A and B are shown apart, each in its own frame.
Chain A
Amino acid sequence: VGKKVQAIYLWWHKPVIDKELLQSLPNLKVIANSGVGMDHLDLKLVASFGVKMANAPHAVSSSTADTGMALLLASARRLVEAHNISISPSMEYCEADILGVKVAGATLGIIGMGSIGYKIALRAKAFEMNILYHNRTRRKVQEEQAVGATYCKKIDSLLQQADFVMLVVSLTPQTHKLIGKRELELMKPTATLINISRGAVVDQEALVAALQTGVIQAAALDVTSPEPLPRDHPLLKLKNVILTPHLGIKTDKATYMITEEAVENILAALSGLPLPSEVLPS
């Protein structure tokens, strides 16, 4: 059976692509990933077997940007807390005013201004947010002006000014634990951290401590380390945290488009044609 396999369509890190698997599939030509993140793959190892890799960058960007905004707004208005109060069978709550913060005029700091980050900026602009961004490279002036975003060459400057910090980077050795104790302490005590990138971009222990002691006000996390979190994890108990189970791409359309992108890449690889979204080891 191993000799027949020419393509793998990878769903959520399964199967695990290691040396043993690659050795058992001599005719494997391509691995297509169901998403844009490739941090779970050893790109050099796969390439060394002459196997091409592809991700699905176009399918994910809108739905993931929507998730980022959904978390930002839900956090600002304490939405999950308010819903739970509304549906609670207990009679304790009477006229509790769930006061939140206004998003218009607040400062959003986007860390990682790739296609998803840029889509977030477009959405945030319509909410009249003041937008700062930090990225490996600066975007073109016209792109900045279109969303009214100001470049922060130093991440510190963004962290000190933002009311909402949104993480939209891909996970690489450089972004691993990008947000740690130092970065959290630079943030305002009234600020909210939103993570839609990868759990490992944040030093999770430092984040728990920061949330417990009021170093930052709140967090909304669509990604954690690991996923799911163990049942006794402190993040599950914190009142000022919204946790969602990696919903980034979970819409009917995105799921369909991801598969379409994967199939396009697989067919191209099998026909010896260039892949629409090939990922090379850097």
Chain B
Amino acid sequence: GPDLKVISTLSVGFDHLALDEIKKRGIRVGYTPDVLTDATAELSVALLLSACRRLPEAAEQVKSGGWTTWKPLWMCGYGLSDSTVGIIGLGRIGQAVARRLKPFGVRKFLYTGSGPKPESAAEFGAEFVPLMRLAEESDFVVVTCALTPATQGMCNKDFFGRMKKTSVFVNTSRGSVVNQEDLYNALANGQIAAAGLDVTTPEPLPTDHPLLSLKNCVILPHIGSATYATRSTMAVLAANNLLAGLRGEPMPHELKL
């Protein structure tokens, strides 16, 4: 409506906002960066570990009676020791993920994005590489970038085709960064070992979607920032952003358009 002055989003992502139109109308936008970084990084690592160690699949075997006796290679997954981790989008969340993965014995960090970030990368000795090299060399790929026209559909057939057969793909950014059909094929054909997704297209997925049937795909209902404390903080921040906008005052966290 024509009276709209302020939009306050309960997220750090703003890909769902028509920014050109918003800017044209002089509408101000508040968002919630930083306060959700820890919770989202924790969820990303939780998802990575659950995917590479096959937690939901193994838990199901315990419940269903599929676990009969111990066999050496049964339910074997992949470890992080001596691995190469590739982070797509070394922003606040990407860095927080790298920080948490470091003591798991990761040998090397790679990252990619719109440009190198030497100050951020230094802490992990991370090397800036082109997207396809990251695909080729990583044992674990973690996507933590923003959804933009440049990153839309970035993880596609070509990308998955270059990944190792033993690699694990984790997406906690936005569903549309991934070409979902290409991901399904890569998982179903053993081009990559496993995936963990907190975000999909759409959300939720239709109940008959093929991704839901894959044993090597862990899917979560977009709970990246879903902790009691974090959502509480986000809600207060979003309310304060909104009120400040209505009063014509500076917002705690305003999105610069």
Contact = CB atoms under 8 A, between A and B. Distances in A.
A122 B227 contact: no
Contacts of A125: 103
Contacts of B46: 70, 73-74, 76-77, 79
B39 interface: yes
Contact of B226 (A34, A97, A254): A97
Nearest to A104: B38
A255 B71 CA distance: 11
A68 to B, nearest CB: 10
A102 B227 contact: yes
A98 B38 contact: no
Interface in B9-48: 38-39, 42-43, 45-47
B161 interface: no
Interface in B180-239: 204-205, 207-208, 212-213, 218-221, 223, 226-231
A73 B45 CA distance: 8
A108 to B, nearest CB: 13
A273 interface: no
Given A70-B49, A98-B223, A247-B75, A77 B63 contact: no
A77 B230 CA distance: 12
A245 interface: yes
Interface in B46-85: 46-47, 49-50, 53-56, 58-59, 61-63, 65, 67-70, 72-82
Contacts of B228: 99-102
Nearest to A96: B221
A127 B228 CA distance: 17
Contacts, number: 179
A22 interface: no
Nearest to A128: B38
Identify the 5 closest CB pairs spanning chains A and B, nearest first. Answer: A73-B46, A251-B79, A70-B49, A12-B70, A86-B219
B221 A86 contact: yes
B212 A86 contact: yes
A83 B219 contact: yes
Contacts of B68: 228
Contacts of B107: none
Nearest to B45: A73
A253 interface: yes
B102 A126 contact: yes
Tell which of A87, A101, A122, A128 has the most Cβ of chain B within 10 Å: A87
B220 A82 contact: yes
Nearest to A253: B79
A123 interface: yes
Contacts of B213: 87
Interface stretch (A45-53, A168-176, A236-244): A236-244
Interface in A212-260: 227-229, 231, 236, 242-247, 250-255
Contacts of A228: 62, 65, 67-69
A34 B74 CA distance: 15
A265 interface: no
B79 to A, nearest CB: 4
Interface of B: 38-39, 42-43, 45-47, 49-50, 53-56, 58-59, 61-63, 65, 67-70, 72-82, 99-105, 166, 204-205, 207-208, 212-213, 218-221, 223, 226-231
B79 A66 contact: yes
Given A11-B72, A82-B221, A85-B221, A245 B38 contact: no
A66 B42 contact: no
Contacts of B54: 247
Interface string A50-87: 00000000000011001101110110110110111111
A89 interface: yes
Tell which of A76, A228, A250 has the most Cβ of chain B within 10 Å: A250
Given A79-B46, A89-B207, A100 B223 contact: yes
Contacts of B208: 89
Interface string A109-134: 00000000001001101111000000
A82 B223 contact: yes
A246 B53 CA distance: 11
Contacts of A123: 100, 103-104
Contacts of B227: 77, 99-102
A79 B55 contact: yes
28 contacts: A62-B79, A62-B81, A66-B49, A70-B53, A73-B46, A74-B55, A77-B226, A83-B50, A83-B218, A83-B220, A87-B212, A98-B220, A99-B231, A100-B223, A100-B226, A101-B228, A102-B227, A102-B228, A104-B42, A123-B100, A125-B103, A231-B65, A250-B53, A250-B75, A251-B76, A251-B77, A253-B82, A255-B73
